Amino acid sequence: MRHRYVTLMQVLVLICLPVAGGAELSHTVAPLRMGGFTYRGSVAGVDVMELRSGIELRDDGYAVGVAFRTLGMLDLVMHGDTRSRVDGVWRGNRAMPTAYESAGVFRGRPRRTEITYPDGQPHVLVLEPQQDIERDPVPSDLQQGTMDALSALADLERMVSETGRCDGELRVFDGRRLASFVGSTGPMETLDPGDGLSYAGPALRCDVVSRQIAGLPKDASPDDVVRRPQLDQVWFAQPQPGMPPIPVRISVELRLLGHLTLVLTQAQRSVRVTDFSPKL
């Protein structure tokens, strides 16, 4: 079951990748200053989770929040309900988190994380439980320059009007694991309405290869599945006129259950990021 924690991080990162699309998607619109997005996730047509995200961009910084909860049968066997938030500033054209916090329940166990970044290096203040499983620590030199998954949203949303592709790489450190995510631009495809998707029309498909590079389980063998790169796909489109491209459909491979599909069910222009603040 240990791989499901990595999958949740993958889902958050993919949602936090609102890079601009190709020529058929306008990337000259003004950067999104505030917005809220709701996603529903399903496996084999059965709803298993809901994700809500909110972003607020300011000239001097940003705030991003995500709320996650399990649904249906998955909620009965692996209850999860968490809220996460990050605040940060801009250093040049890059997002630099200043404080990240997350709290809630996952698989029935309380989980809390607090990370600050006083010198650009993540400092883990709270990590509960300290050990989810026995794993190798992430060396401090590999933590340098990393960010949380939520800061990736602010970082790339600010870049949305400056690029027409989704090529790029980022590294995410969550206090236990370090993972890399490499995106490449795919073709334009047409999405049909259905399965609750609130958008229909042209969308840019991006292929994202994720790989855990540190914080591996101590008992992981050289060919363990946790070491293998994983290909996920995300489709970007403009759900409303004047709004930059955001993920409208996401496909993630669950190593134990199959494909998890997330679709955008609601997009709104206003949101209070304080609503996502966890109760630590």
Q: What is the mean pLDDT of residues 227-238?
A: 85
What six digits make up the tokens of 182? 């490499």
Torsion of CA 197, 200, 202, 207, to 10 degrees: 10
Binned at pLDDT 50, 70 and 90, residue 32 comes out as low
Mean pLDDT of 111-132: 91
Q: 7: pLDDT confidence band, cut at 50, 70 and 90? A: low
Residue 263: the pLDDT is 93
Q: Total domain count for the chain?
A: 1
> Which residue, among 169, 159, 185, 183, has the nearest Cα to 24 in the 3D structure?
185
Task: Indicate whether 125 pLDDT > 90.
Answer: yes
Query: Residue 155 above 80 pLDDT?
Result: no
Would you state the pLDDT for residue 101? 95
**End-to-end Cα spacing for the chain:** 26
Residue 264 has pLDDT above 60, yes or no: yes
- Inform me whether the pLDDT recorded for 184 exceeds 80: yes
**How confident is the model at residue 162, as a pLDDT?**
62
Is residue 15 helix, strand or coil?
helix
pLDDT of residue 255: 65
Domain range holding 126? 3-276
Give the pLDDT confidence score for residue 153 in this predicted structure.
66
Report which of 13, 16, 9 is spatially closest to residue 157, judged by C-alpha positions: 16
Confidence category of residue 190, pLDDT binned at 50, 70, 90:
very high
Q: Are strands 230-237 and 123-128 parallel, antiparallel or unpaired?
A: unpaired
In this prediction, residue 83 carries a pLDDT of 93
Contacts of 199 (CB under 8 A, 6+ apart): 191, 193, 237, 239, 248, 264
